[in-house]
A = this chain, B = another copy of it.
């Protein structure tokens, strides 16, 4: 999809902001302020890094799991912004998952290739098993963007409690049964029509909107 003159910095900031607002709507900090943000190596992970910064400003205590860090300067800056807030990075996912109230799954998203490389298989297995509420960003990690969960391997039974679709719902939504948000309030009507997207009505200043089951459309 064309980004319509938006820079990646701008889009990632708006995407991460949406993710942070979905976390707040699901679990305000009064319901547990510890949030583990699991970040993958690509854009999905970048959205997670941005979200973690906003969550900190809302009063959460984020911890970042970011085992495969991009050398790209944008990601390096996003990481530095978190370090400036003294947000901790934790490399032991098993430890981190035992010390959190909520989880953001920002490991793989729209451009997931179907191959879950180390160290992510065990991370996805942990997400599959945990009872701690998980919000997945754009796609439950390991899911195919078109067809949903993999037929075998890590993630085949993974179904996060909540999902936030960035810009527009993806086809995998057919296979998904949980709470569903849409975020990214920046699309023009012309772009929406060009890509045949059904933009939900946002309320007030919200950067995120929850779609009820009856309103679920692709």
The residues of A with any CB-CB pair to B shorter than 8 Å are 4-7, 9-10, 13-14, 17, 20-21, 24, 53-54, 57-58, 74, 76-78, 80-81, 84-86, 185-186, 188-191, 202, 204-206
State the Cβ distance, A161 to closest chain B Cβ, in Å. 20
Residue pair B80, A24 in contact (C-beta under 8 Å): no
Residue pair A57, B186 in contact (C-beta under 8 Å): yes
Given the known interface contacts A84-B190, A85-B188, A188-B84, the answer about A205 and B24 at a Cβ–Cβ threshold of 8 Å is yes
Q: List 10 A-B contacts (CB under 8 A).
A: A4-B84, A5-B84, A7-B77, A9-B9, A9-B10, A17-B17, A57-B186, A57-B202, A81-B186, A84-B190
**Whole-angstrom distance between the alpha carbons of A204 and B57 in the complex?**
9
**Whole-angstrom distance between the alpha carbons of A9 and B204 in the complex?**
24
Where chain A touches its partner, the secondary structure class is: helix
Residues on the B chain within 8 Å of A205, using CB: 20-21, 24, 58, 205-206
A-B pairs, 8 with minimum CB distance: A5-B80, A9-B9, A84-B188, A5-B77, A7-B9, A57-B185, A85-B188, A9-B10
Q: By CB atoms of chain B within 10 A, which of A24, A74, A204, A206 has the most? A: A204
Residues on the B chain within 8 Å of A10, using CB: 9-10, 13
State the Cβ distance, A47 to closest chain B Cβ, in Å. 13
Residue pair A81, B6 in contact (C-beta under 8 Å): yes
Contacting residue for A13 out of B13, B24, B54, CB 8 A: B13
Residues on the B chain within 8 Å of A189, using CB: 85
Residues on the B chain within 8 Å of A78, using CB: 5
**Whole-angstrom distance between the alpha carbons of A187 and B87 in the complex?**
13
**Whole-angstrom distance between the alpha carbons of A50 and B85 in the complex?**
26
Q: In the complex, what residue of chain B is closest to A25 when comparing beta carbons?
A: B205
Residues on the B chain within 8 Å of A17, using CB: 17
Q: In the complex, what residue of chain B is closest to A201 when comparing beta carbons?
A: B59
Residues on the B chain within 8 Å of A9, using CB: 7, 9-10, 13
**Whole-angstrom distance between the alpha carbons of A169 and B149 in the complex?**
50
